[in-house]
Amino acid sequence: MIPAALLDDLIDRALAEDAGGGDITSLATVSATARAVGRALAKASLVVAGGDVFARVFYRVDPGARVERLVAEGTAVAAGDVLWVVEGATRSLLMAERTALNFAQRLSGIASLTAEYVKRIPAGTSLRITDTRKTTPGLRALERAAVRTGGGHNHRNDLGAAILIKDNHIAAAGGVGEALRRARALSPHPSRLEIEVETLGALDDALQNGADIVLLDNFAPGEVALAVERARGKALVEVSGGVTLHRIEELARAGVDVVSVGALTHSAPAADISFEIEPLS
């Protein structure tokens, strides 16, 4: 559940962007007393996400609107299924519909792509699919919620949430071992140290210096299996870097613990959802 205060701030800024100058077309063509019902329909198969923000947009425009959510978050639906029904002043529905759909299409797209990745995990394996910080500025909380809705997990939320030593940190510190020693000295007691490695040699260095999680960056398939074997019982293994759907089964069967996929948030196509209005007599 996204806090209402956060939703309202995001929605108000989005509405100001789209309707800050009013809706002159609706003012010109629609009676001030007209009322209507609008139905949001899936135009293709998708996993539903963003119902909270979709409804909240209409409430921000018209507190007297009524939104009925027919489908639960995370539900897989088919083309033609009705997701949400909104009743209210026609002008309000017309003013709110694009902003509401922009949020819902974006979030349902993320949930749908995440679900596709999760489906590729073979039964009996323990692989987790996670997102990354490659999110739309200002929308991270919503997009990460959509990943969870699609069955995925969240990686660190921000720079202050966990220690993740990457290639530039290693270069600045003077090497894998020195970077880990410095991080260990300053990290809180419960923290786990994760470090990115680009070669099997760097992996060995990380394991010898007490890494809790090793992030294999762009390892070849054969190298992944070797890395998992070397890290067994010493550190969790995460794989990142251009991981496509067809590699998920291979990585799961190799014993990888986590696959982080930036594409879940930076490249998910928007879901196809329409909003059809019917006047009320």
134 is catalytic: yes
Q: Cα–Cα distance between 278 and 95 in angstroms, integer?
A: 15
Catalytic residue among 8, 217, 249, 272: 217
Q: What pLDDT score does 177 carry?
A: 96
Q: What pLDDT score does 159 carry?
A: 95
217 is catalytic: yes
Kindly indicate the confidence band of residue 129, based on its pLDDT and cuts at 50, 70 and 90: very high
Residues 6+ apart with CB under 8 A from 136: 106, 143, 265
Across the chain, mean pLDDT equals 96
196 is catalytic: yes
Domains of the chain, start order: 4-118+268-279 (3.90.1170.20), 121-266 (3.20.20.70)
- How large is the average pLDDT for residues 1-29? 92
Percent of the chain residues past pLDDT 90, beyond the cut: 93
- How large is the average pLDDT for residues 50-76? 97
Question: Starting at the edge strand that comes first in sequence, how are the strands of the sheet with 82-89 ordered?
Answer: 66-69, 82-89, 35-42, 273-279
8 is catalytic: no
> pTM here?
0.95
**Which tens digit of pLDDT belongs to each residue from 87-107?**
999 999 999 999 999 999 999
Catalytic residue among 35, 39, 98, 148: 98
Q: What pLDDT score does 3 carry?
A: 80
Q: How far apart are the first and last CA of the chain?
A: 36
Long-range pairs, 237-242, Cβ under 8 A, ≥24: 237/213, 238/194, 238/213, 238/214, 239/215, 240/132, 240/196, 240/215, 240/216, 241/217, 242/218
Q: What pLDDT score does 2 carry?
A: 77
9 is catalytic: no
Q: Cα–Cα distance between 279 and 58 in angstroms, integer?
A: 17
**Which tens digit of pLDDT belongs to each residue from 108-124?**
999 999 999 999 999 99
Q: What pLDDT score does 6 carry?
A: 85
**Which tens digit of pLDDT belongs to each residue from 228-265?**
999 999 999 999 988 999 999 999 999 999 999 999 99
Catalytic residue among 39, 69, 134, 253: 134
DSSP state letters, the chain: ---HHHHHHHHHHHHHHHHTT--HHHHHHS-TT-EEEEEEEESS-EE---HHHHHHHHHHH-TT-EEEE-S-TT-EE-TT-EEEEEEEEHHHHHHHHHHHHHHHHHHHHHHHHHHHHHHTSPTT---EEE--S---TT-HHHHHHHHHHTT-B---SSTTT-EEE-HHHHHHHTSHHHHHHHHHHHS-TTPPEEEEESSHHHHHHHHHTT-SEEEEES--HHHHHHHHHHHTTT-EEEEESS--GGGHHHHHHHT--EEE-THHHHSPPPP-EEEEEEE--
**Which tens digit of pLDDT belongs to each residue from 73-85?**
999 999 999 999 9
Question: What would the two tokens of residue 104 be?
Answer: 């819902």
Q: What pLDDT score does 189 carry?
A: 79
Q: What pLDDT score does 258 carry?
A: 98
Q: Is the pLDDT of residue 188 over 90?
A: no
Q: Is the pLDDT of residue 173 over 90?
A: yes
Catalytic residue among 166, 181, 192, 232: 166
Kindly indicate the confidence band of residue 68, based on its pLDDT and cuts at 50, 70 and 90: very high
CA-closest candidate to residue 67, choices 24, 29, 105, 96: 96
**Which tens digit of pLDDT belongs to each residue from 204-213?**
999 999 999 9
CA-closest candidate to residue 130, choices 116, 119, 143, 114: 114
